[in-house]
Amino acid sequence: MIVSLSAGLLSWGFADRIEAANSFLYGTFVFFGTFSVYNLQRVVKIAQANMFTPWLLWVKRNRAIIITLSVISGVGALTSLWLLHLNNIISITVLSFAVACSLLYVVRINGINLRGIPFLKIHVISITWTLLVVIFPEVSGGSIQGVIYVFLAHYFYILSVTIPFDIRDLKYDNTIYKTIPQILGVNRAKWLAVLFLLFYTALIQLVFPLLLFSPWFWLGVFFTGCLIIAVNERVSDWYCAGLIDGSIGLLGLVYLLA
C-alpha cells in the first residue's frame, strides 16, 4: 500500500510540476495500477517460491483477499486511464512497455523471467518505474523537451532507493541474480546508492532548476540518503516498505509544494 501511495504521489507531483492537464489522474492511475500489479506479482511469487520471506508468508495466508483487491484496483487503474483520454501513440507505447516489463518481471517464459536474468533485476525495476511514474505523464502531454534528463534523473533515483531492498533481501535472493550487494558487498552497495542519489540531485536541476532553492527538496534528499546509509541485512520489511518507500512519496510532496 505504501509503495503504491508513494508512487502515485510522485507521479501526481511530477505531472503537476510540468503543468500536465488532469495531473491528479496520473497519480490515481499509478496508485491503482501499481497496487494491482505489485500484489499480483506477489501471488505469482508464492507459487514459485522455495523460500518465504515474512511478507510472502503473509501474502500466502491472505491470497484470496489480495487477488480481490488487485482486481478492484485494476478497474480503478483502467477507469483513470479512460478519463485521461489518451490519444498519443508515444504515451501508449511507453505505457505498454512498462506494463510488459511488470508482467515479465515475474511471469516465466521458457522457464525464465526478467527477475532471474543476472545483473538485470534492479535495472528492470528502475526503468519500469521511471517510465510509468514520470515519462508517461511527460509524453502524454505531447512534450518531449528535456525527456532524457527527466528519465536519467529518476532512473538514478529509483536505483538509489531500490538498492536497500536488495541489501535487505541478501539472505533470500538466489545468487544467480547478481544483485549489486551480492557483487560489491553491503557497504560499497550503500555508497553506490548514495552516489546514484547525488546523480539524481544534479540532473533534476536541469529539469526543475528552482528546486535548487528549496530547503524541502534538500531535506528530502538528505533524509533518503540517511535511510540508505543506515540500511543493513537485518532491517525489517517495514524499514524498506515503510520508510524508504515513504521517502518516494515525500519527493512527490516536494514536487507538489516546493
Number of C-beta neighbours around residue 49 at 10 A: 15
What is the Cα–Cα distance from 83 to 223, expressed in whole angstroms?
35
Count of domains for the chain: 1
- Report the pLDDT value the prediction gives residue 51, as an integer from 0 to 100: 59
- Percent of the residues in the chain that have a pLDDT greater than 70, as a whole number: 93
CATH of the domain at 126: 1.10.600
| pTM of the predicted structure, to 2 decimals | 0.90
With both helix axes pointing from N to C terminus, report the angle between 215-230 and 245-257 in degrees, rounded to the nearest 10: 170
How crowded is the C-beta side of 110, counted as CA atoms within 13 Å? 2
pLDDT of res. 21 = 87
| CA–CA dist 163, 161 (Å, integer) | 6
Chain Cα centroid distance, residue 171: 22
Q: Is 161 left (phi over 0), alpha (psi -120 to 50) or beta?
A: alpha
The b-or-e profile of 120-145 (16+ CB within 10 A means b, else e) is bbbebbbbbbbbbbbbbbbbbbeeee
- 177 has a pLDDT exceeding 90: no
Q: What is the pLDDT of residue 48?
A: 63
In this prediction, residue 123 carries a pLDDT of 92
* Mean pLDDT, the chain, whole residue set: 87
Read off the pLDDT of residues 88-126 as tens digits, 9 standing for 90 and up. Answer: 888 889 999 998 888 887 777 777 777 777 788 899 999
Domain of residue 129 covers 2-257
Tens of pLDDT, residues 25-72: 999 999 999 998 888 877 776 666 565 666 667 667 777 888 888 899
Given a contact cutoff of 8 angstroms between Cβ atoms, the answer to whether 57 and 22 are in contact is no
Taking every pair of Cα atoms in the chain, the longest distance, rounded to a whole number of angstroms, is 51
C-beta of residue 197 within 8 angstroms of C-beta of residue 229: no
**Is 70 exceeded by the pLDDT of residue 6?**
yes
Position 242 scores a pLDDT of 85
